Chains A and B, each alone.
Chain A
Amino acid sequence: MIDKALKGDTRYWIWLAFLLGVMTLGGLSYVQQFKYGLGYTGMSRDVSWGVYIAQFTFLVGVAAGGVMLVLPYYLHDFKAFGRITVLGEFMAIAAVSMCLMFILADLGQPARVLNVILHPTPNSMLFWDMIVLNGYLFLNIICGWVILNAEAKEVPPPKWVKPFVYISIPWAISIHTVTAFLYAGLPGRHFWLTAIMAPRFLASAFAAGPALLLICAMAMKKYANFDPGEKAVNKLCTIISYAAIANFFFIGLEFFTAYYSNIPGHMHTLDYLFFGLEGHDNLVPFMRFSMVLGLIATIAIMVPAVRRNDRYLVITCAALFLALWIDKGVGLVLGGFVPNPLEYITEYVPTFGELMITAGIWATGFFILTILYKVALAVDRQIHG
């Protein structure tokens, strides 16, 4: 079936060539990092996780977001998602692949990664994260690929795949819950030590994932003559808006707890992210921009006129995705390290090479996504003409 990805127009090949170019630059940068060590990045003793782990965290959300299509389609028999559910599953595959690459890029000794399996440690949340992420990748490959294969052959999907579909639904929740546990269980990191970390992660995931999916679907509508269907688009918008509202509600709760309790440790990071702490404020413009942009986009996506206009819809979804990316893919992880446990403030700025590796991994993810979507599109065209 993969052969369907080998036929495409010029635009398709230019897009793939562009992605390959970015991947190459990222790969070359990674060789540099591999030779020198992680000092190649902007990370330090005080900010010991940087843009890689932040991307990983955000992308787990994008992967989990796919369940917002699988769940209505398979559990509630919401037929309108029939044509795009496989897009959700394929997006999950691409996103989890990126997650695994970001983790690998962040390891000081990547060659030893199998130690996590050779010396299984159930008390470590990272061990469980490894299990749920790989499991989710496996589930989505099975569900997405087998069902699409059946569609291509115009036969009903095999019965044995159904249990995997149903397991994949709570499994999607688990990947983001366990990822939240990486942060929410650490003593002495006040910003992360919050019981609503997992719900916050899920809310932003269920907004960001479907938003990216909608952007992709709209791009395919414009360039590849694929129609996701008005009903499906409308439903997705509703899902995105509820999730985005929940996300901002949760952020509001964090602010209340910190500032009403007036406990310095709980306020410090929020101060640093949104107002500046002792003159250190390099993330303030980003975080404020993220809040304003995200709130505007959340309101916009509820407006029927926006939903009906493809161009406005794509802009709105892109704005929301960017806002959520800044909040989680930048602020959440980096902010947790400021101030450090001894209340020193060390700011982190990624290096050029680090950003190249990051771009390279994103490009690899989009490469996987493009190939998978191309196959899905070819099958869709075969069925719907």
Chain B
Amino acid sequence: MDIKRRKFLKLAGLSAVAGIGAPSAFNMLLRGEVSASEGKPSGHGGGEGHGAASTTKYRYGIVIDVRKFASIKGLAGKCIKACHTIHNVPNYGNKKDEIKWVWVESYEHAFPEHSQYKRNERLHKLPILTMCNHCDNPPCVRACPTQATFKNKENGIIMMDYHRCIGCRFCMAACPYGARSFNWRNPREKDSQGRYRFLERINPDYPCRMRGVVEKCTLCVERIDRGQIPACVEATGNTGAMIFGDLNDPNSEISRVLRETFTIQRKPAVGTHPSLFYII
């Protein structure tokens, strides 16, 4: 902070005391925030990627230990299967209609802004489990013209109202992680024998979508409400490959892991403050 600004703030503080200045400056001085803010990175280069404390009561997040996924064969597939079965995610078998909530990505595509030069072989074979980042500052929510996608005020989860979505796909253009899918056709289409063509079976506990709406991972908000953990996390069992918890609680396991382990996030520079973290 330069001299001028310090001087200005002092002046502002004095005038606040005198009752003529901005109350906010007065409050800043009272709480001692002025000195506390000195010397912190401004976050232009993604320094604040992990995000400041969320304004929601809880902020659920996941730490994904990619090393475990690499060493335990088929673990990622188990997570995907668990999620897609519970949430009635259709399988079209082609890329054009594709809908996915959670999937495996290669290191270079999950972290395209990281240097790939002379990285070791292990890195390029890593299965990176990818899904909605449940950003604390979500561009999709900003873009949605009907609040069909919104941030849950209680727990910070980015949710979808399938009955309000008009299918404009603005959120898909806005998401920097490619986490959103669109129902290009009817997922409940049946064949001549009356069987679902793209769903093995329908789980009646979760709504099945109709064509023309956007969908994505909801961090199993419906399970969290019942006191369960997300299906993908549950599928990893006691491997420790995924740690789910409240980022706002300094005593939660996830907060402890984040304090003790070096983790990275996808595209911290775009300022979305993801709630997903990766141990590579």
| CB closest chain-B residue, reference A43 | B184
Taking A37-B183, A39-B96 as known contacts, 14 extra A-B pairs with beta carbons closer than 8 A to each other, sorted by chain A number, are: A37-B185, A38-B182, A38-B211, A44-B97, A45-B96, A45-B178, A49-B169, A108-B214, A109-B166, A124-B143, A185-B142, A341-B267, A342-B109, A342-B110
Q: B54 at the A/B interface (Cβ < 8 Å)?
A: no
B166–A115 touching, CB < 8 Å: yes
Bound-state CA distance A124–B170 (Å) is 9
Which residues of B lie under 8 Å from residue A37 when comparing CB positions? 183-186, 211-212
A121–B170 touching, CB < 8 Å: no
Q: B173 at the A/B interface (Cβ < 8 Å)?
A: yes
Interface residues of A in 1-56 (CB under 8 A from B): 36-39, 43-46, 48-49
Q: Which of the residues A44, A107, A265 comes within 8 Å of B167, measured between beta carbons?
A: A107
A108–B165 touching, CB < 8 Å: yes
Which residues of B lie under 8 Å from residue A188 when comparing CB positions? 139, 175-177, 267, 270
Stretch at the interface among A125-133, A214-222, A270-278, A292-300: A125-133
Bound-state CA distance A183–B97 (Å) is 24
B145–A127 touching, CB < 8 Å: yes
Q: Could you tell me the distance in whole angstroms from the C-beta of B146 to the nearest C-beta in chain A?
A: 4
Which residues of B lie under 8 Å from residue A265 when comparing CB positions? 113
Q: A187 at the A/B interface (Cβ < 8 Å)?
A: yes
Which residues of A lie under 8 Å from residue B166 when comparing CB positions? 107-110, 112-113, 115-116
Which residues of B lie under 8 Å from residue A107 when comparing CB positions? 166-168, 212
Q: B213 at the A/B interface (Cβ < 8 Å)?
A: yes
Q: B155 at the A/B interface (Cβ < 8 Å)?
A: no
Q: B75 at the A/B interface (Cβ < 8 Å)?
A: no
Question: Interface code B114-147, partner A: CB below 8 Å = 1, 0 otherwise?
Answer: 0000000000000000000000000101111111
Provide 30 A-B residue pairs closer than 8 Å at the C-beta atoms, listed in order of the A residue: A36-B186, A37-B183, A37-B212, A44-B98, A44-B184, A45-B96, A45-B182, A48-B182, A107-B212, A108-B182, A108-B212, A108-B214, A109-B167, A112-B167, A113-B166, A115-B146, A116-B166, A121-B144, A123-B141, A124-B142, A126-B145, A126-B168, A127-B145, A183-B173, A188-B177, A341-B177, A341-B267, A342-B105, A342-B112, A342-B177
Q: B265 at the A/B interface (Cβ < 8 Å)?
A: no
Q: B95 at the A/B interface (Cβ < 8 Å)?
A: yes
Q: B172 at the A/B interface (Cβ < 8 Å)?
A: yes
Bound-state CA distance A113–B148 (Å) is 12
A108–B96 touching, CB < 8 Å: no
| CB closest chain-B residue, reference A118 | B146
B95–A182 touching, CB < 8 Å: no
Interface residues of A in 39-93 (CB under 8 A from B): 39, 43-46, 48-49
Bound-state CA distance A355–B203 (Å) is 38
Q: Which of the residues B95, B99, B143, B185 comes within 8 Å of A346, measured between beta carbons?
A: B95
Question: Interface code A327-352, partner B: CB below 8 Å = 1, 0 otherwise?
Answer: 00000000011001111101000000
B146–A187 touching, CB < 8 Å: no
Q: B9 at the A/B interface (Cβ < 8 Å)?
A: no
B272–A187 touching, CB < 8 Å: yes
| CB closest chain-A residue, reference B210 | A109
| CB closest chain-B residue, reference A46 | B178
| Residue in A109, A115, A123, A125 whose Cβ sees the most chain B Cβ within 10 Å | A109
Interface residues of A in 300-345 (CB under 8 A from B): 336-337, 340-344
Report how many A-B pairs have Cβ atoms within 8 Å.
Answer: 143
Q: A384 at the A/B interface (Cβ < 8 Å)?
A: no
Q: Could you tell me the distance in whole angstroms from the C-beta of A165 to the nearest C-beta in chain B?
A: 30
Interface residues of A in 351-375 (CB under 8 A from B): none
Which residues of B lie under 8 Å from residue A346 when comparing CB positions? 95
Which residues of B lie under 8 Å from residue A113 when comparing CB positions? 166
Question: Interface code A125-162, partner B: CB below 8 Å = 1, 0 otherwise?
Answer: 11100100000000000000000000000000000000
B175–A341 touching, CB < 8 Å: yes
Given contacts A37-B186, A119-B146, A346-B95, contact A340 B170 (CB under 8 A): no
Which residues of A lie under 8 Å from residue B144 when comparing CB positions? 121, 124
Question: Interface code B73-88, partner A: CB below 8 Å = 1, 0 otherwise?
Answer: 0000000000000000
Which residues of B lie under 8 Å from residue A123 when comparing CB positions? 141-142
Interface residues of A in 170-200 (CB under 8 A from B): 182-183, 185-189
Q: Could you tell me the distance in whole angstroms from the C-beta of A302 to the nearest C-beta in chain B?
A: 38
| CB closest chain-B residue, reference A38 | B184
Q: Which of the residues A48, A116, A121, A127 comes within 8 Å of B172, measured between beta carbons?
A: A48
Question: Interface code B164-207, partner A: CB below 8 Å = 1, 0 otherwise?
Answer: 11111110111111100111111000000000000000000000
| Residue in A36, A44, A115, A126 whose Cβ sees the most chain B Cβ within 10 Å | A115
B270–A116 touching, CB < 8 Å: no
Bound-state CA distance A373–B268 (Å) is 54
Q: Could you tell me the distance in whole angstroms from the C-beta of B249 to the nearest C-beta in chain A?
A: 28
Which residues of B lie under 8 Å from residue A112 when comparing CB positions? 146, 164-167
Question: Interface code B100-116, partner A: CB below 8 Å = 1, 0 otherwise?
Answer: 00000100111011000
Which residues of A lie under 8 Å from residue B214 when comparing CB positions? 108
Which residues of A lie under 8 Å from residue B164 when comparing CB positions? 112, 115, 119
| CB closest chain-A residue, reference B184 | A39
Which residues of A lie under 8 Å from residue B98 when comparing CB positions? 44-45
Given contacts A49-B169, A108-B211, A121-B145, contact A342 B178 (CB under 8 A): yes
B173–A343 touching, CB < 8 Å: no
Bound-state CA distance A343–B272 (Å) is 18
Bound-state CA distance A49–B174 (Å) is 12
B168–A106 touching, CB < 8 Å: yes
Which residues of B lie under 8 Å from residue A36 when comparing CB positions? 185-186, 211
